[in-house]
Structure 1
């Protein structure tokens, strides 16, 4: 394999990695959906949020939002935290983006947009 070919090879996984290449590729596929991308950016920007607050903020119907939240949870990009709020009855669910989600957005989509901006500025 030539040096140029090596640059497109996936980096070696850490010896103690809990994930494999297919797991990482699944994460990439999942954020390829604009609704899921918007959910992740909202969670990263605003922190922990309830499903109803997310649905209102993103103007997404509740059933559709839950479908996307479940998909994000399945690949490890979102965690669902349940807790009993003081003075209220029942347990409430809150969603939070994981560190993997932050890294994926920061070094995935955000980096691509940044590089495009640099190229457009350079050749404008």
Structure 2
């Protein structure tokens, strides 16, 4: 038995796929005076000027990642909801055959888990 469809609707959390030390080395921040000055300012005031500016210019990628994960969760919810509706229908109408499109979707869903 698959899990309840509502269990897929969780609040997604953004994650950083690249560790900070790798970013430090690949972005040449280790030798950047602006990076170290921003670090001092952030430590003293709590304000991160570089992140504020880059989020404004490049966009908030953490929010974009969170939105993408929410869409994935919604897709899982819809797939599980379709399965539960199909099972409910077949339990009420034992002789009823599942439509071909639903057979394809449920078989694809089982491969995704």
- Report the TM-score, using the length of structure 2 for normalisation: 0.30
Greater strand fraction, Structure 1 or Structure 2: 1
- Report the TM-score, using the length of structure 1 for normalisation: 0.28
Which protein, 1 or 2, shows the higher relative CO under an 8 Å CA cutoff with sep ≥ 6?
Answer: 2
Rg larger for = 2
